[in-house]
Amino acid sequence: MTDTAKLFYDINEPFAAGFFELESASPARAFCRAYRRFFELAPLPKYKSFDPLYPYKGLWCESYAVNPQYCRQYSVDYGALKAKSDECARLFRKFDAEHGDFLAVDGRGAGSRYAAYIDGWNHSALNFKRILAEGVDSYEARVRKMKDDDLREALLDLLCGIRTYHGRIVEYLESAGAEERLVKALKKVPFSPAETAFEAIVSCNFALCLDGCDNIGFIDGWLPKYWRGEDLTYELGALMMHLQYANGWSMSIGPEYSELTKQYLKASRGEARPMIELRCTPDMPDDIWSAALESVLSGSGQPAFYNENAIQSRLSERFPDAPREDIYEFAGMGCTETNFSGLTFSGGIDMNLNVLKVFDEVMREHLALCETFDELYEKFMSRVAEVQDDLMLFVNNYYNKRAEISFAPIRTLFVDDCIEKEKGYYNGGARYTFAIPSDSGIPNTVDSLLVVKELVFDRREYTAEEFIAALDAQEGRFLSLARSCHSYGIADPVADGLIADLTKRFYARYRYARLDLGDGFLPTSHQFIRHTTEGHTLGHTPDGRREGTPVADSIAAANGKATEGPTRMLISAASFDQSMVYAIPVLNLSISTKFKPEILRGLIEGYFKMGGTQVQITYVDRETLLDAKENPNEHGDLIVRVGGYSDFFISLDRDLQDAVIARTMFDG
């Protein structure tokens, strides 16, 4: 043991100590040793007799300042660490700079002005299907055949820690008088193959907690194999609750529908997580539609609806050499970032480009210099392309840096094909590796372009200088004229034509870009919580958005613009070119409690027939939202969809609450 490791052991930081135990260790050896020490020494969570599964949260110890974290591989509370030891805090900061700061690379260029979010997050799911079918013993057998001595010894070290952790859990559950079927199942799984549905769920839960409770992934890719018609609502509810405890994310179900599909939906009632993604085919049975719509109209926010045929077709086009069975493993991870379950390393997200901010700067720099609208539009599109290129270069560079300095133990072990390739999860080991760029403000940008086009170039109401002055002053006449212009969200062919051109060109920029260590870029358009923070960086914009207020929270019309009902809004949304948005364009639809289920089904099916990809629904009256804002203690169970994910309304900050309240609310 090194002297540095001893310092951390002396202050009861065994996970941190593990990083320093082996002299001159590679990242693989250091990270796997740290995880092993956590598995061996961290306190186990207290058994809960009402919970059919165990453990029930990701790897975390409240008394540790340094803990595992599924994206960064560790998280550090430097205040807590410094309180234990100034020297240890200093040493870990040095380690962090050398092994955790993969964003400290060149390549952002001018793009940094428009990127409100570059964080290097990533989401994934382990290959639960393979873990359950083969057992972890089979993984160890494959690891032992590896020729790379360093990586083999690192993963064997990790497996040793997992076995110790598993043994500690079984011993603890027996001493705590845990339910016999749980103890019996854990004596078998995950090291041996599962044979029953309960064993499969227990095994999945164990692996999920090893990974940090990130995503369940495509649950229908594995659970139906073990299901014999029994009611699993209770067990599925516990699995979902564990994801909620850990602030985890999502799972996908369908398109092979059964009574089990209904059990997923029933189990999710009252929970914001996991976000359930229902993969919908044109022939999805009426009883599944009824169950899904009943769930949505209960106010649960579950499920979101996904156009199965469109997604499969687009991903097959994007990955022409991929086996169909791999594409079928599709699941949105995190909010909805595309993964092939158990086969993928992807960002979540890697960068977010504020398109409205790009337009605002181009307008202010070039409007007076342009003789035609087309000239201005091309200058804007050229600037957008430059920014995309800057940001893609940066992402490529930090992917390379992360592969060099960091290591993901659990995912390297349990995501195919890391063992076979003898490469780490970050180093091109996964079968598929792609970055996920996102964007904000495209609907606002289209409306802003149309106001400029009409008031400056077509109707010549203002010179360029007068236009910007009137915009900034928020003159009444200007605002009235702006409201009379063409706009997106009402099936206006002019607006819809412009957004079709803009989005086709915008997403095509990502289509053929490549990563040194992977397959390239799969764009999404989901705003998460960025639509509020990005609005803070912008002044008044021509679309009518006021200074500091949010940009659009999805690909739907900006708040207040869908004035002619949900059908016309969805027609416009279908003109947003989604054919190359391979990691899912999110559409928020807020409906009141007057909405009838048959109308909602018709809207979703109609949108999908037009090529729409995804719809997520918030079902609540505005009066309830307003009351929840003022009286949060009375609305603890109120769930809303935000910018790609769902959450309890009272958990949102005031800006996000206001953004949800301000949405266009449709009656049906």
Interval 533-554: pLDDT, tens: 889 999 999 999 999 999 999 9
pLDDT digits (tens, 9 = 90+) for 117-156: 677 889 999 999 999 999 999 999 999 999 999 999 999 9
- In terms of phi and psi (left: phi > 0; alpha: psi -120 to 50; beta: otherwise), the region of 491 is left
Structural domains counted in the chain: 2
Within-domain flag for 68: no
pLDDT digits (tens, 9 = 90+) for 554-577: 999 999 999 999 999 999 999 999
Strand partners of residue 187: none
Distance, C-alpha 406 to centroid of its chain: 21
- Helix residue ranges, H only, 442-487: 442-452, 464-473, 476-483
What residue numbers bound the domain in which 371 lies? Answer: 347-589
What does DSSP say about strands 588-591 and 665-666: parallel, antiparallel, or unpaired?
parallel
What's the pLDDT band for 108 if we cut at 50, 70, 90? low
pLDDT of residue 622: 87
HSE (CB half, 13 Å, CA atoms) of 454?
17
Within-domain flag for 639: no
Give percent of the chain with pLDDT exceeding 70. Answer: 99
Tell me which of 556, 574, 589 is where a domain ends: 589
SS3 334: coil
pLDDT of residue 110: 60
Give percent of the chain with pLDDT exceeding 90. Answer: 88
Sign, CA torsion 111/116/119/122: negative
**Token pair in block for residue 405:** 């300095």
* Cα separation, 118 vs 233, whole angstroms: 39
* Cα separation, 483 vs 493, whole angstroms: 17
The answer to whether 367 and 453 are in contact (CB under 8 A) is no
pTM, two decimals, is: 0.96
* Cα separation, 214 vs 279, whole angstroms: 20
pLDDT of residue 134: 98
Within-domain flag for 131: no
pLDDT at 594 over 70: yes
Peptide bond into 274 cis (omega under 30): yes
Within-domain flag for 600: no
Tell me which of 557, 573, 589 is where a domain ends: 589
pLDDT at 377 over 70: yes
pLDDT of residue 618: 92
* Cα separation, 68 vs 164, whole angstroms: 17
Length of the chain: 668
Q: Rounded to a whole number, what is the distance in angstroms from the first to the last CA of the chain?
A: 68
Question: 574: which residues sit within 8 A by CB, 6+ positions away?
Answer: 607, 610, 611, 612
Within-domain flag for 461: yes
Within-domain flag for 112: no
Q: CB under 8 Å, gap of 24 or more: what pairs does 426-429 form? A: 426/345, 426/399, 426/402, 426/517, 427/403, 427/517, 428/403, 428/517, 428/518, 429/345
**Token pair in block for residue 357:** 């901010």
Q: Which amino acid is at 284?
A: M
Within-domain flag for 413: yes
Within-domain flag for 224: no
User: Pick the residue with more confidence: 668 or 439?
Assistant: 439
pLDDT digits (tens, 9 = 90+) for 68-80: 999 999 999 999 9
pLDDT at 105 over 90: no
* Cα separation, 621 vs 623, whole angstroms: 5
pLDDT of residue 529: 86
The answer to whether 302 and 646 are in contact (CB under 8 A) is yes
The answer to whether 500 and 446 are in contact (CB under 8 A) is no
Q: From 494, 479, 384, select the one nearest 446 (Cα to Cα).
A: 494
pLDDT of residue 438: 95
Tell me which of 589, 604, 628 is where a domain ends: 589
pLDDT at 116 over 60: no
* Cα separation, 300 vs 295, whole angstroms: 6
HSE (CB half, 13 Å, CA atoms) of 129?
16
pLDDT at 111 over 70: no
pLDDT at 109 over 70: no
pLDDT digits (tens, 9 = 90+) for 192-226: 999 999 999 999 999 999 999 999 999 999 999 99
pLDDT digits (tens, 9 = 90+) for 487-534: 999 999 999 999 999 999 999 999 999 999 999 999 999 998 888 988
What angle separates helix 566-575 from helix 597-609, to the nearest 10 degrees? 20
